[in-house]
Structure 1
Amino acid sequence: MNYNRHSILWRVILYFSLASIAMSVLGSGAILAWNYHKQIQSYEQKLSQIRSGYADSLGSSLWFYDEVQLHSQIKGILNLSGVRYVRVSDNLNMNIENGERPHSGDINRLPLAFNGKDIGVLEIAFDHELLLQQAMDTAASSMTAQLLSLLFLTLLLGYIVYNLLNRRISLLAREVQQRLHSHTFAPLSVTETGQQDEIDTLVRAFNALSAQMNDELQQKTQAQQQLKVINQELEHRVADRTRNLQQTVDELNQTLHQLHTTQSKLIEAEKLSSLGGMVAGIAHEINTPLGLCITIHSYIDDHFRELQQRFNSGAMRKQDFTEFLAMLEESLAILDKNQQRAAQLIKSFKQVSEDQTGEQLRQFQLREYLEEILETLSPRFKQTHHRVEIDCAADLWLETYPGAISQVITNLIMNSLLHGFEHIDEGVIRIQAAPDRGKLVMHYRDNGCGLSAEARLKIFDPFYTTKRGKGGTGLGMHLVYNLVHQRLQGSIEIIDSPQGAAFRLELPQQLHQPFS
C-alpha cells in the first residue's frame, strides 16, 4: 500500500473520517437534545401524576396534622425517579421538607386543598443534572456506536479506493516513469479490469499515445538521419561559399579603402578649390586699390617733377605751390583709403585662410568672424544684387574651430549663389545666431528656388549634385555635414521654410575636447 500522505487514498480516508466525526458529533448533539427534551416531558408527566395521586391524600393528612402519614407520603414522592426535593407546608406552622433545596426557580409548587379549601403547598424539584447526565450517557453511547460503524466504513472505503484507484494508479505511474527513463514508448502492462472505468480508459489512451509516439519516434529518427546528411552537404556548401564570400569581402574592403582614400582626396581638393577661388577673388579685389595707389603715385610724381623744374628755374609761384599742396592732400587721402582697403582684405583673407588650413582651437566673436568671411566672399557679390544679412549679438562668442565654421558658412553661401539664386536677380541670405543653454543655435535661410524632395533626402550624400557635368562635385554639403558632426561636434538639419532653403545648426558654444 502507498503510504504517501499526499495520496488520494489517504486524502479520501482523511476527508471521510473528518466528515464522519462531524456527522457523529452533530448526530450525538441532536440525540442529546432530544433525550433531554424527552426527560423533561417525562418529569412533567410525573409531576402531573403526583398532582393527581398525592394531592388529595396530602391535603387530608395536612388538615388532620397527621405527620407520620405526611412523612410517609413525602418519602414515597422522593422515591420517584429524578425527584430531588419535596416540601409540604400549610398556612400556619406546618413545614415538612426532605432532600437538598435547589434554586427557587427550579421548584414546582402545587396547591393542597381539603374539601375545596386551600390549606397548604406541595413543593417539588427535579434533579436536572441527573436528567442531563442521563441524556449525555445516551448520546455518548450512540456516538460511540456511530464512530465504530463509521470507522469500519472508512476502512472498507479505503480498501475499495486502494484497489479501484490507488493501486492501479501507482502501477500506471510506475510504468510511465520507467518508460520515461528508458526513452521507450511500449504499451503499458497494466491489465484492464473489464469494468470500462476511468483507469481502463486512461490505460487505453496511454497505449494509443505510445503507439503514436513510437511511429513519430521512428519518423523522427529517419528525419534526423536525413537531416544529418543534409547538414553535412550544407557544411561543405557553406565552407565553399564562405571562402568565396571572404574573398569577395577582402576585395570589397580594398575597394572601400580606395574609395575612402579617393573621397578624402576629393574633399581636400574641394577645400583647396574653395580656397583657390577665394584667392582669385581677393587678388582681383586687391588689384583695384593697388592700381589706384600706383596711378596716384604716378600722378603725384608728375606734379612733383613739374614743380621741381619751376623751382629750379625760379619760375615757381605761390599759387603753383598751393595747388600742388591741395593735389597732394587729396591724393594722400585717396592713397590712405585704398591702402586701408587692401590691408583689410589681406587681413580678412589671412585670418580665414589660416583657419581653413590650420587645426587651431580658439575663442572668437562670431559676428566679427562672419563679417570677415563675407569680406573674403565679397568678389562673388560684386556683379550681383544679392546680399547677406547677419542677425547676431556683437558679444556672442564661440570657443571652437573657426576654420570649420568658415568652411561651413562659405559652402552654404556658395550653394545659395550657385543653386538657390540661379534664376533670381536679388537674393537675400539671412544668418541668425543665438545662445541656448550652453549651445549655439544658428539658422541659415535664403529666398531662392528651394530644395526638391530628392535634394532634401540626398543633399548630404557624397557626390550628389544637381550640377552634374557643369562643374559640380557633390562634395560641398557632404563636407559641411562631416565638419558639423565630427569636427564641431554638433548637428545640422534641413527645416521647413515657406521660401527657399533653410538649415538649422546646433553647436556647442565651448568645445571642451579638441577634435582628433
Structure 2
Amino acid sequence: MRIFQPKDHDTRVFENSIGLRLLRYVFGCYLIVTIVVTTAQLLAEYSHVKKGIFVELVGLEQTFKHSIAESVWTFDSIQLSSTLKGMNEIDFVVGVKIVDTRGQILASIGTYDNNADNTHLLSKIPEQNIKHKKTQTNSGSKVLYEYTFPIIHDKNNLSQNQYIGYGHIYSDNDTVMERVKYGFILIIINSVIKTLALWLIFLYFTRNILAVPLRELAERTRDLTPSNVKKETDDNHYGDELECLAITFDNMREAILEKINIIETHNQTLEDRVNQRTADLLKLNEDLSNTLEELKSTQEKLIQSEKLSALGSLVAGISHELNTPVGNGLTAITFLNSATQSIQDKMKKGITKTELDSYLNEMKEGAEIVETSLNRASSLISSFKQLSIDRVTSQRRTFMIDEVIHDIKRAFMPQLREHGIQLDVHLPYPIELDSYPGPLGEVIDSLIQNSIAHGFKEKESGVIKISIHESAGKVFIDFKDDGIGIEEKNIGKVFDPFFTTTLGQGNNGLGLHIIHNIVTGPLGGSIIIESEPGVHTTIHMEFPKKSPREETESAA
C-alpha cells in the first residue's frame, strides 16, 4: 500500500494544486468573457466615433454650401479653392471635390475618389448619405467615407432653384482610428487591471481557504497506518466541508480499530478450536475448503468472462455503427473548413455576390449533414449507454421489449452481415414489461452468439427468427435458427454447466447454463429447447410481464 508523504507531494504542489487548477478553469472562463466584452466595447466605441464623424460631415454642408454655391456660380476659382482649403484643414476631412452637373471636376483638394460617377447628372439630386468607396491613392488602396450634397444657386429667392453642381466631402478610417485610439487604450488598460486584480484576489483566497487547510489536514492524517491507528486527529473546526472530511477520517480510524479488535478476537477463538482438533481432520477440512473455494472462484470467473464477452460484442457492434455518422460528420467539417479558407482568400482579393451565395449554400448543406450525423451518433450512444447501465446494474424497471430487441439487433448487425446471417424479428405490437432489461438482453445476446458460433459454423448463410407475443400476463419468445441443429443425445445436457461439444476450442460451456439461470431466476420463467439435426434449433421461453422477483433479491 502506498503511504502518502507530504514531502513528496510538495515537489509537485504547483502543477497539481487544486487551487491552481480551479484558478485555471475559472480564470480561463473569465478571460474569455473579458476578451469578448472588451472586443464588444471596442467595436461599440469605434462605431460611435465613426457615426459622430458622419454627423460632422453632414454638418459641413450647412456651413459651406452657400459659399461654395456663390463661388461656383460666379466662377470664382480662387475663392472656391480657398474655401476647399479651409474645409480640408478640419481634422476629420481628408479631401473635398466639387463637380458640375456634367461630372467635370471644378475644384478638389486632398484625397478623393477619382472614379467618375454620373448617376446624379441630368439635374437629378443624389441620395444624401455616407457612401463607402475604395479608391487608389499615393499611399495605396484605401476606403473613403464620401458625403455628397447638391450645390444649389438661389435665384433671388425665386421658387425655382437651380442645381449647378455637387460637392463631395471625404473622410477615412485613419481619421476614425486617430480619434478612437485613446478610448481603446483606456478600455484595454481597464480590462487588464481588472483581470490582474481578480487573479491575485482569487489566488490569495484559494490558497488560504482551500490549499492551506487541506495541507494541514493531510499532515494530521499522515501517521494513520495499519500499524498505528490509535492516534486521534486534532480537533480543528473549520466549519465547512473540510471539517466533515476530518470527521470522516476520524470515523474511518475508529472503524479500522474496531475491525482489528474483532479480527484479533476471532483469531484467538479460532486458534483455540484448532488446537482441539486432530491434525488429520484439520488437513481434510482445509483441503475440502480450498477445493470448494477454487471451484466457486473458477465458476464465477468463467461466468463473468462470458458476460464480458457478450458486452464486448455489443461494443464492437456499436463502434462499427458509429463509424458511418462520425465519418460523414468529419468529411462535412473538412469540406466546410476548406470552403471557409477559400472564401477568406477571396475576401482579401474581393468577393462577388455569386461566390458569397455559393459559400453560404455550401455552409448550410454542410451544417445539415453534420447535424444529421451527430444526431445519429447521439442516438447510438444513448442506446448503448442504456444497454451498458442495464447490464452492469441489473436493475429492475419498466421498459418496452421491442426497444431491447432493436438495440441488440443494431449492435449485432455488422457481425451478422459478416457471417451472411439474416435476423428477422416478429413483434405484432409493442409490449411493456416490469422486469430486468439487462438480464433479458443478456439472454438474447447469448442466444445470437451461440447460433453464430455453433449453429452456423458449417454454413455460409442462415436465418435467425425471433417471435414475440403475449398472453394472459405472460410473454412468449421463440428463438429459432436454421443451423446444423443439436444431436438428440445432447438435448438434455445443453443447460448443464461446462457442457460443450467444442471443448478445447475456446468455449467454456456456460452460455446456455447462464441463459437458463437468468430465465428461471430474475425473469421468473421457464425455458425449453427442441432441435432437428441439420434443420433447425428452437428455444421456447416464457416469463411473466411483471417479474415476481423483488429488486433486493436480484441485487443479492
TM-score of the aligned structures, taking structure 1 as reference length? 0.49
State the structure with more CA Rg: 1
TM-score of the aligned structures, taking structure 2 as reference length? 0.46
Structure (1/2) with the larger helix percentage: 1
